[in-house]
Amino acid sequence: MRIDIKLTGRLYNKIVRDLARPHPFAAERVGFVFGRVGLLADEGALILLTRYQAIPDDQYVDDLRVGARIGSKALTWAMQALYFGRATREGIFHIHMHRHKGETRMSRIDSGDIPKLMPGFQSVSNEAAHGIIILSLNHGSGWVWLPTRKEPIPADTMSVIGAPVGIFERRITK
Amino acid sequence: MSTDRFSRQSFLGAYAEDLISQCTIGLIGLGGGGSHIVQQLAHIGFQRYIIYDDDVVEESNLNRLIGARTVDVPASTQKLHIAKMTIYGLQPNASVKGFACKWQENPEPLRECQIVFGCVDSYKGREELEIACRRYLMHYIDIGMDVHGKERPVIGGQVILSSPGELCMRCMGFLTDEKLATEAGLYGGAGSRPQVVWPNGVLASTAVGLAVDIVTGWTQRSLSHAYMVYDGNQATISESITLRKLKIGTCPHFLDTDVGDPILVDL
């Protein structure tokens, strides 16, 4: 099943600028980006990202075992935003950046921790697609939990519709 | 991996060949304008195409349809077939998804594209394409030409770039309610308009140039929108005066959140 992610150049630049900012104690930043779904041919899905929410500095938890950990206040905010976006089936994507070039994948900590958020997101907004996006310095990868699906589907491409266009293709197998 | 084939366009950047080959291009209308565009894209190295045209070659097309031959008239060859032959002749490994129908009858494949070229005849057709491109996040590049007047004919035309999150064709003063209403009032009674090959070539070349710039970024200008006006009598193409005088910086017609499949909400 084909899954593509798209976002505008403006939104991409806004996300990258925020995630690149140093944090007072966390080693990296995370954020939430919202997205809606469009149908592709052959029952594929297109995730169209709409807006980004940075997480305020004081909503991070100081935890030396991970690059960044966010607290309950940020998660509560995300759940509320999802609740209010249910009518438009707006889903939420956890997003962060790995500071290297080329295609990236979930680290051991990423794959252990972040997917645990998805059942909660799905319980609040069960008709939307949710997921995880990890950017690198010049690439990006996504994992999408479609409505009612328990397992993620890796996105085939992520396209930045700006000038210049960015097309990040998945080469790493599942 | 650069090949000798691309050696003369290496100024486009070290990664240009890869970027061009990864980009999926949509093309609506494969007639006078679209046939020029498809030919140039294939020469440049684009590999992925989603193309639509429900028409066949007629004798009146032979004055401008690139790739068409005299034998295509009695054979009623689809314009789609002409475009595919042009692409495969230059890029045998290209992926071409072609549809001999109106794009509205099968819109899902188009949504994969990063860039869509619109070579349609009507304002309504342009408006519908732009709306789809905003909703599914695709750059839209519009071309069109017309000949006005009979005593002293004047050839005019336009190339417009409308990108998601940036100024749209209404913002740029090209699409107006008045134009749409006038066109609707004709109820298809406008008849066939004059079309000739060389203005289509100028407009198509300008449009392809915009696309290559967007994909490779070779000019290093951050192109958010464009409205170029063609004067076929003076043989000039220049930025629209309307655009130069424009006071607005953000589009009030399309919201960033109006994307994806429309949702029907119970009231």
CATH code: domain of residue B210? 3.40.50.720
**Cβ distance of A89 and B263 shorter than 8 Å:** yes
Residue B95: give the domain boundaries. 13-244
* Closest residue in B to A12 (Cα–Cα): B165
Tens of each residue's pLDDT in chain A, 174 residues: 999 999 999 999 999 999 999 999 999 999 999 999 999 999 999 999 999 999 999 999 988 888 888 989 999 999 999 999 888 899 999 999 999 999 999 999 999 999 999 999 999 999 999 999 999 999 999 999 999 899 999 999 999 999 999 999 998 765
What gap in Å lies between CA A33 and CA A11, rounded to an integer? 9
Q: For B45-122, where are the alpha helices, taking DSSP H only? A: 79-90
- For residue B200, what are the contacts with CB-CB under 8 A and spacing of at least 6? B32, B33, B36, B64, B143, B145
Omega of the bond prior to B74 within 30 degrees of 0, cis?
A: no
Q: Is B18 touching A (CB cutoff 8 A)?
A: no
Backbone angles phi, psi at B29, to 5 degrees: 95, 115
- For chain A, give every domain's residue range: 3-46+56-140
Q: Do the interacting molecules here have an ipTM over 0.90?
A: yes
Angle at A129 between CA A90 and CA A169, to 5 degrees: 115
- The verdict on residue B2 lying in a domain is no
Contacts of B165 in chain A (CB under 8 A): 8-11
Nearest Cβ partner of B108 from A41, A89, A161?
A41
What gap in Å lies between CA B122 and CA B100, rounded to an integer? 19
What is the amino acid identity at position B237? I
For chain A, the helix, strand and coil percentages under 3-state DSSP, each to the nearest 5: 30, 35, 35
Q: Is the pTM of this model over 0.90?
A: yes
What gap in Å lies between CA A42 and CA A27, rounded to an integer? 41
What is the number of domains present in chain B? 1
B92-103 as b/e: b if 16+ CB within 10 A: eebebbbbeeeb
Per residue in B2-22, pLDDT tens? 568 889 999 999 999 999 999
DSSP state of B166: S
Cα dist from A134 to A63, A121, A137, A169, whole Å:
20, 18, 10, 13
- The verdict on residue B4 lying in a domain is no
Angle at B133 between CA B129 and CA B138, to 5 degrees: 140
Taking residues B207-223, what's their average pLDDT?
95
